Each structure stands twice: as structure tokens, then as C-alpha cells.
Amino acid sequence: MNKTPDVMNEEELALANANQDQAEILLEAASLQLKRYKPFYGVLLSSMPLVKATETINTMATDGRNILYSPEFVAGMTDERKKLVYQRIDKNIQDPKKNADMKHHIDVFYRKKTSREIAFVLEHECDHVVSDHMYRGKGFDHELFNIAADHRINTNAILIHSNADNMGRAWFPKGKDSDFPEDEEFAFMKWAYADFRFVDMFTEQIYEILRNEKQNPPPAGGSGGKQPGGSQGTDQHANSDGTFSNDPDEATLSDVLGTNPAAKKALSTEEKNRNDTVMRRAIQNGVKAAGSGAPKDARKYVEEAGKPKINYLRLLRKTIERLFKDNVSYRRLHRRSYSLTKTLRNSGHLTSRQTIGLPSYSKAKTIRAHIFFDVSGSFNDSLLRPTMREIRGMCNQYDDFEVYLSCWSTEVGNTVKYTKANVRELNDYKITTTFGTDVSCVFEALDKEPHDPDQIVIYTDGYFSDVSKVKDWAKKYGNKTLWVILGRHGNQWDPPFGKAVDFDQYL
């Protein structure tokens, strides 16, 4: 059966926000500590507004720019609110042991935090932004990728804080052996994802291991330190709040708290692009302020961002210009043949019997280039403008051409054909963003075209739901396809066929 989750009413929401003032004080104190002792995170936090999101967030999270938080996670849950939560636990969890475990979880997890504990969580959310997890996770199972990202961040952070730092003392003096006693600071880490098998692994590597193992972690978290439950090989059900259970109808943390993660407001493409620009600048400024004290991932980010990239527009120009080669013919010699022959004879390089013959040229055929834009959140109008200028500039050099622009996600649409007659309208083409990515639709659409394309250019971030079927088109379209990869920060990407280059948005 499908449960209808309980959602907080206004009275209960007021109870959940009762400690809002204390939460703000703790958040401010933690931010000040980081600004004073950890300048990188201090600079980053100055660009990340703190937003109360009690209705949708059980702990703390980030959307790539804002830090969202639940006041009762930061400053503790009131007794009145806890009674209502216990009532939901009794209603939804019949098993006595699971019932007791969930109540114990609430008692420990939602007690008032120290400023150091909040500083650690703020660091954690900043590291999600530095590692670009919001965008790298596209195309993966969202909940499982988020768990993999938490493993990556937490294990490395625990090791970093295993030694005394300039904030006073070691946060996790036992390092890998941390056991997070429930009566001590950082007790909430007992429910955090921190499996030290994954130290120094990339998030994508951890994701693949978790996906293959089909882990079944404890509620609302994975194994921290020596805690059990992080590697049990059982089938799992992913819930909307990132918790896991064997029973799809079993109550989750969101169920018993009355929060609704699905109600989170989705950011528009414009907001995502603006946030990305602000945070890129903040990361660069943070690394400058912290120097060698900046996190390794942040220094690597700035280092890669400063490396010269392939200017894909130049490659695009060369790629399409190759299609416009003129036919070479000696039936009618080029008019320069006579002047060149005369010059070489006068200089003594040719005898009177020798002649230079240069071929004349004639236009080959009507060239057909198909350009596809991945609109599942990867491409937008601001990135489109320099591309359009380049395409229009090339088209204006030739008389016979057909350039087709299309958007694609799970289907191909908004296809517009441009020739000499309407090339001026190129600048009016607009991107419409959708969700989901199935690149097979591109080649299915090409198969339906009456004429074979001479060149295919596909803009995408490289995250496809399935590429096995795409490889079937390799023989037909392999030598004609150029993949322009967006947002990968220079990381190498192997296309299923054809060539791939990184999009250069710093022209």
C-alpha cells in the first residue's frame, strides 16, 4: 500500500521554528569561527546566504549557492514538537525495536549543536559546492550520488580534523577509529555517511561501488567510523529524503518529522547560471585568501580553471569549413596559371617549354550541418550567443548551405533550418530547457532525414541514461560527429564515437 505522509500544520511548523533565534546565533558564531580561522570557507560563506527551510529540510543542505537549514537540527527540537514526532513514529513504525531506534535517533540527532559542530556542517555544504556535486550528479541516481558525495566529503574531513587545528583542538582525534559517543560532541555523526574504504576516491567511484553493493545503511545516514550497517549487501529502497529501507512503506525521517522534500523549489536555468558564476568567483577568491591552507579540491579547481582550454569555436569553424571544400578541376585552368608561368620563366625557374597549371575551383554541393543542443539543464541562451555568432559568420561566406539547429533531451524538437535566405534569423533562436537525457533521440531523428548530414555537432554535458544503443550508430555517423562537452572543467570524456572537445565559455 502507499502511505500518505503526514505534513506539518501551521501550529507544528511554529514549534519546529521555535528555536529560530538560537539557530541564527549558532550559525553566526560558526560562520565567524570559519571566517577567522579558515579564510577559504569564510570567503565562500560570505557568498552563500543562510535560508531557513523547515518545511523541506531535515538537517542542512545547499542548492549550489544558498545554505538551507532546519532550525531544530541546529538549535535542538523542543519537547512539544518531539511529542508530535513520537506520535508519528508510533503510528508508522510498528516494530518495537525499529520504533525505539527511531526515537533514539531523534533524541540524539536533534539536540542542540555546538558552534564547532555547525562549523563542520557548514564546511561540508561548502565542499559540495567546491566539488560541483549538484551538476556532476546529473544523470545518476540522485539520492545514491548524494550519499557517495557525503562519503567523499566526510571521510576526508574527519582525517583533516584528526589533528589539532587553529580553532583549538582536534575535532576527531581518533581519525578513522572515531566512534562518536552519544554523550559527546559530534554525536550526530553516528548517522553520517563516512566509510573509510572510500578515502581518496572520487565521488563517481564511490557511487559505482555503492550501486554494485546495493548497500542498506541505517536511517538517515551511513556508517560513521566503526558504526555498523555501512556495507550490508541487501536490496534497498531509496526514499525521497535520502534514507533507505527494505520496505517501501516503512516510515522515513521525513515521514516522522512531517517535512516534504518534494516541495523544494526548483531553480530556473538563469538562477543556476548566476549562482554558478558567483560561486566560481568566490572559490577563486577563497583560494587566494587561504593560499596553501585552502582545501585540496579547491586548489585543484582553481588550477584547472586557469589552464588553457581548447577554443571549441575555432575547431567548430575548421570542422564545418572542411565540408565546404571546392571541387578541383583541370578542365579549365585557374587564371593565375598564366601570370605565375610568366613570372617563373622570367626568373629562370622555368624554360620556355614549361608551364604551370593551377586547377580551377567550383562549388561542391549544398552542405548540410545538424547542430543539437542538450537542453536538459546543460545549455542556455547565454552560452548560445557566441556559438550563433560563429555559425552565422561561417554561413555568410558561402552560397549553398543548410544548417539545422535542434534542441534535445528525451526527444528532438524546435528544429529550424537556416539557409542564405534566413541566416539573419539565427540570433533569434532560443533554448527551451527540459529534463531527462536520452541521446538516442538525436540519431533516431537523423535517420528520418531525407538527406544524410555532412556534419553533426552535439552540445551536451556527457551524462546519458544509456549509451549502449547509441554505439549502434557509430558506423553511420562516427566520422561526422563532434561532441562539445559542457561544464566538465576540462575533465576528459570519451564519446561513444566521433570526437569530443570541451566547451570554452571564457572566450
**118 falls in which pLDDT band (50, 70, 90)?**
very high
pLDDT at 319: 62
Alpha-carbon distance 436 to 444, whole Å? 17
Span of 110-119, 157-166, 302-311 with lowest mean pLDDT: 302-311
pLDDT at 189: 93
Question: What is the per-residue pLDDT across 219-269, written as a single tens digit (0 to 9) for each?
Answer: 333 333 333 223 222 222 233 333 333 343 467 888 899 888 888 887 777
Which residues contact residue 46 at a Cβ distance below 8 angstroms, ignoring those fewer than 6 apart?
35, 282
Alpha-carbon distance 129 to 63, whole Å? 8
DSSP 8-state class, residue 423: G
Alpha-carbon distance 307 to 234, whole Å? 44
Pairing of strands 60-62, 481-485: unpaired
Question: What is the per-residue pLDDT across 187-222, written as a single tens digit (0 to 9) for each?
Answer: 999 999 999 999 888 888 898 889 888 654 433 333
Q: Which residues pair with 328 in a beta bridge?
A: 361
Which residues contact residue 56 at a Cβ distance below 8 angstroms, ignoring those fewer than 6 apart?
68, 259, 260, 261, 263, 264
pLDDT at 328: 57
Q: Which residue has the higher pLDDT, 60 or 230?
A: 60
pLDDT cut 90: percent of the chain above it? 31
Q: Which of 90-104, 128-142, 398-412 has the highest mean pLDDT?
A: 90-104
pLDDT at 353: 82
Cell numbers linked to 379 = 545549455
Describe the crossing of helices 142-160 and 203-213 by its angle, rounded to 10 degrees: 120
pLDDT at 438: 81
Long-range CB pairs of 495-500 (<8 Å, 24+ gap) are 495/462, 496/467, 496/470, 496/471, 497/470, 497/471, 497/473, 498/456, 500/462
pLDDT at 224: 36
Is the per-residue pLDDT at 406 higher than 50? yes
In Å, how far from its chain's centre is CA 476? 31
Side-chain half-sphere exposure of 56, counting CA atoms within 13 A: 14
Averaged pLDDT for residues 327-342? 71
pLDDT at 398: 62
Is the per-residue pLDDT at 504 higher than 70? no
Question: What is the per-residue pLDDT across 456-500, written as a single tens digit (0 to 9) for each?
Answer: 988 887 776 666 777 778 888 888 888 887 755 445 667 888 888
Instruction: Sort 335 into a burial class: Cβ within 10 Å, 0-12 / 13-18 / 19+.
Output: exposed
Q: Which of 16-30, 162-176, 191-205 has the highest mean pLDDT?
A: 16-30
Alpha-carbon distance 416 to 125, whole Å? 42
pLDDT at 386: 67
Alpha-carbon distance 179 to 440, whole Å? 48
Is the per-residue pLDDT at 174 higher than 70? yes
pLDDT at 40: 93
Averaged pLDDT for residues 405-432? 85
Q: Which residue has the higher pLDDT, 46 or 433?
A: 46
3-state secondary structure of 397: coil
pLDDT at 435: 64
Alpha-carbon distance 72 to 62, whole Å? 17
**453 falls in which pLDDT band (50, 70, 90)?**
confident
Alpha-carbon distance 357 to 340, whole Å? 9
Alpha-carbon distance 289 to 248, whole Å? 48
Alpha-carbon distance 310 to 483, whole Å? 13
Span of 71-85, 141-155, 224-238, 415-429 with lowest mean pLDDT: 224-238
- Report the candidate in 154, 100, 116, 121 with the shortest Cα–Cα distance to residue 48: 121
Span of 107-121, 287-301, 391-405 with lowest mean pLDDT: 391-405
Alpha-carbon distance 170 to 182, whole Å? 18
pLDDT at 387: 74
Q: Which residue has the higher pLDDT, 7 or 66?
A: 66
Question: What is the per-residue pLDDT across 351-375, written as a single tens digit (0 to 9) for each?
Answer: 888 888 777 655 555 677 888 888 8
**129 falls in which pLDDT band (50, 70, 90)?**
very high
pLDDT at 462: 74
Domains defined along the chain, listed by start: 10-305 (no CATH), 312-322+365-502 (3.40.50.410), 328-362 (no CATH)
Question: If you average pLDDT over every residue of the chain, what do you get?
Answer: 79
